[in-house]
Structure 1
Amino acid sequence: MYTVDDVRKFAEQEDVRFIRLTFFDIYGHQKNISILPDQLERAFARGIAIDAFAVGGFENERHGDLYLKPDPSTFTILPWRSVDGSVVLMICSLVYPDGTPFEKDMRARLKQAVQDAAGMGISLRMSTEFEFYLFRDDEKGRPTCEPLDTGGYLDVSPLDHGENIRREICFTLAEMGMQPQASYHQCGPGQNEVDFHASSPVRAADEASLFKWVVRTVASTNGLRADFSPRPLPEEPGNGLHVNIQVESEDFLNPIDENAVFCSFMAGVLVHIRELCLFTNPTPASYLRLGRRKAPACISWSNVNRSLLVRVPSDHVNRMELRNPDCTTSPYLVFMLLIQAGLDGVRNSMTLPDPCDMDLSGLQDRCLASLPASMEESIEAALGSGLVKLHVPASVTAAYAAREQE
């Protein structure tokens, strides 16, 4: 893990020409400002000022200036470099001019959730599985909706034309210090998936937040367009962002007790998930995916059924895979809320319902509880949620609710 001194030495010794200070708005959209090395000391000491009023979701704040404070542990050398020197990146926290943390900094809220878990003797590891389509550009470089190939699930060349692109994506991620685990062709034509190794929640969110930028950059250099939207092609499978959470209880030596903590954690997620769908599925298009082509609509879980909301893999201890989020989420915000929902389950010793091993895809009427069927339902659930009110600023929830009109 890099320290401030490590970053200083690297900048001096390796001919660093530009330093990208990156942050993410409330929707998970990446933003950045580039500084020259002579501004590095100021960035670490005070931060670099930005205009809060110009950032979506940050409007109407009590102070127009916010400061970016780089986190040296996120120091990354970018594979795409300037001609005569290195370009590096650091993810930043957001503070007011007096150093007070900015309440809409979702990365800071995720850190707090991890601390809350640690205070209860619970440690967490998380990972993501991203689905996305690759579409061709036309002869003038304009985007089209023509898939790169006609391949299907786990197909190989010549049906799969995305193998080389996925390989380049994974190599680029590895060069940036990220941890891709697997990549393959998904069910839709031109649809791909890249999965990450498990890591700490903040690191996992950092990797997930940077991932789409890397994919879009690699795709663009190959004359392609990467599409992460929930349902790019009406008759084909949508794009999901599956979130894996591994729960370990540090206070219990007895595996039975640890399993009880995991079950209560997962019960908390199931109890609160309807309230969180405004953030896990934050666009009107998100609800065109749910309940179709193995995307879940029922609030249930199983060890074997991949069409349900939560799958608990039989070959992993105390790990749950949540399948309803899509790639339009903010990983920091969603991870934070999932952790807080799980901790609420542990605090209240919530009981996990029995698993449901029947195939419920397309048969939501057989399920006792369902995810919201529209963004309107999600907004209503979020506005009535005590958990959301406790952990998400009201202005952030209002901004998400306003997107129904977009």
Structure 2
Amino acid sequence: MTRDDVLKVVDEKDIQFIRVEYLDFSGVTRARTVRREALPDVLETGVNFSTAIMSFNSLDHYVPDPLYGPQDGDFWALPDPDTFAIVPYREKTARMFCDLVDVDGRPWEGCPRSALKRLLNQAQKDLGGTLNAAYEPEGMLFKSEGGNLVPADSSKCFSIEGVEVQAGFIKRVVDSLESMGIPVVQVSSEYGPGQYEINLKYGPVLQATDAMVTFKHVFKTIGREEGYVATLMPKPFNELPGNGLHVHLSLFDSNGVNLFQDPGDRRGLEMSELAYCFTGGLLKHGEALTAIGAPTVNSYKRLLPGSWAPAHVCYGPANRSVLVRVPEKRRARRVEFRSGDGCCNPYLFSAALVAAGLDGVKNRIDPGEPVMEDVGHMEKRRLRELGVRWIPRTLGEAIEALAKDEVIKNALGAPLFNEFIKVRRSEWITYAQYVDQWDRDAYLQTY
């Protein structure tokens, strides 16, 4: 869609309010709403925001020693016309996602979406094809009961009851997404009560990432309007399963040939050497990728061994205990990265995944032999034999691993990379220093 196309639709549909949106380093959507009359100028120059907003964490706290302060001026959120969509649950309202630019109109150093676009251009040159992605988000519905939040229903895993009892909610979510140009492949009642997975159709990485951002907005908003709290929080309660975000990645050339496929693969997975090297890059940078894809304190309460969530850095075919799963040969060749969750900034997550894969291809990184066993219940001796590493056990560990990853730093750009670490570290420090009832129960009377 072009600038003129957007203005035409706005006029024909009598759109009065246009949301200009972008994501900060915490994955929080920041936005301004502009009126129809201002749109031509906004499409030309963007809407200004203080650079300091990127130094806020998800608690809305301004981080210590920020890179961006009140003296550092503004960036401009420049709408991408290709992301224009009418918001179906708001009257006369549309939205567009933005690239962030500086005062001269050049990509701003702290823009996650621009970093992803730059890396995708590099991938097109280096890989000889187009990278595709498909996001598989999981989320939960809660209702208020006696002043407490409880699961919205008692549905069982993959049960028809689950999709029946929430049929109205599911239909509104799917209809809203598809009216905004985002096809949905399937919907499942997941492992936990009130838990659902909605699989978005694969497409070029940028469009797939935009679709994931839209999903986050739609899922939470429709849930709220239906009287629920809809959340992508990784681990809302100890006794309930967690919510993950799996990302499938594939590569096709201009003729539609799957460049990740090779029927002659000696390992029997029908994976090409290119696919193995790409996977090797994902594994080499597994800890750093997890820090970006699972960026909250709560994220690491989901990533536990034996929980169906990955806790180890390895890969394997049809194996849901590993970090990188290779789906069964009955399906097109692709890889699935499994440690992310819905708290991430999808643009940063996609960018880091692309950067890691490119490093694997550039340096011909061999991922080693696939793991066929349930690594979540594997003895430590066996883990050592296979050379399997642990995923970071806390956000603090993950941040330190990310800080040492020069490849990801150089790919994202030092200003963005360093400020992301600062933002995430500020939340970890806040959590580590917070005194709550657990501390009192554990220590007050004993000592």
TM-score bracket, shorter-length normalisation: over 0.9
Greater Cα shift, 50-59 or 340-349 = 50-59
Match of 1:388 among 401, 408, 421: 408
Cα distance in structure 1, aligned partners of 2:230 and 2:344: 16
Q: Residue 157 of structure 2 corresponds to which residue in structure 1?
A: 153
Aligned mates of 2:86, 2:231 — CA distance in 1: 25
Matches of 1:196 and 1:212 in 2, distance apart?
A: 12
Using structure 1 for the length normalisation, give the TM-score.
Answer: 0.92
CA distance in 2, matches of 1:104, 1:62: 16
Structure 1 counterpart of 2:83: 74
1:96 to 94, 98, 102: 102
User: After the TM superposition, which of the residue ranges 52-61 and 378-387 deviates more from structure 2?
Assistant: 52-61
- Deviation per CA, 1:281-331, whole angstroms, max 9, x where unpaired? 111111111124200111122212212111111223330111111111111
After superposition, the Cα gap between the structure-2 partners of 1:362 and 1:7, relative to the gap in structure 1 and judged at 3 Å, is same
Show the 5 A alignment for 1:348-367. 348-363=363-378, 365=380, 366-367=382-383
Q: Secondary structure at the match of 2:425?
A: helix
Matched, 1:223 2:227: yes
- 1:207 aligned to which of 211, 235, 240: 211
Aligned residue pair count: 399
Q: CA RMSD in A?
A: 2.2
In the alignment, the residues of structure 2 paired with residue 26 and residue 336 of structure 1 have an alpha-carbon distance, to the nearest angstrom, of 13
1:3-402 aligned at under 5 Å gives the runs 3-55=2-54, 56=56, 59-60=68-69, 63-82=72-91, 86-120=92-126, 121-138=128-145, 144-157=148-161, 161-248=165-252, 256=262, 259-291=272-304, 292-314=306-328, 315-363=330-378, 365=380, 366-367=382-383, 368-392=388-412, 393=416, 394-402=418-426
Q: Is the 8 A contact 1:133 1:190 kept in 2?
A: yes
Q: Distance in 2 between matches of 1:158 and 1:8?
A: 42
Give the AA of the match of 1:214. V
Equivalent residues of 1:77, 1:87 under 8 A apart: yes
Opposite residue 93 of structure 1, the aligned amino acid is D
Identical-pair percentage: 29
Alpha-carbon distance between aligned partners in 1 of 2:200 and 2:172, rounded to the nearest angstrom: 15
Extract unaligned runs of 5+ from structure 2: 58-66, 266-270, 431-447
The letter for the 1-side match of 2:331 is: H
Letter in 1 for 2:296: T
- With normalisation by structure 2, the TM-score equals 0.84
Name stretches of at least 5 consecutive residues in structure 1 with no aligned partner: none
> Which residue identity is paired with 2:16?
R
Once the two structures are TM-superposed, the CA of residue 145 in structure 1 deviates from its matched residue by: 2.1
Q: What is the rounded CA distance, in whole Å, between the counterparts of 1:33 and 1:158 in structure 2?
A: 37
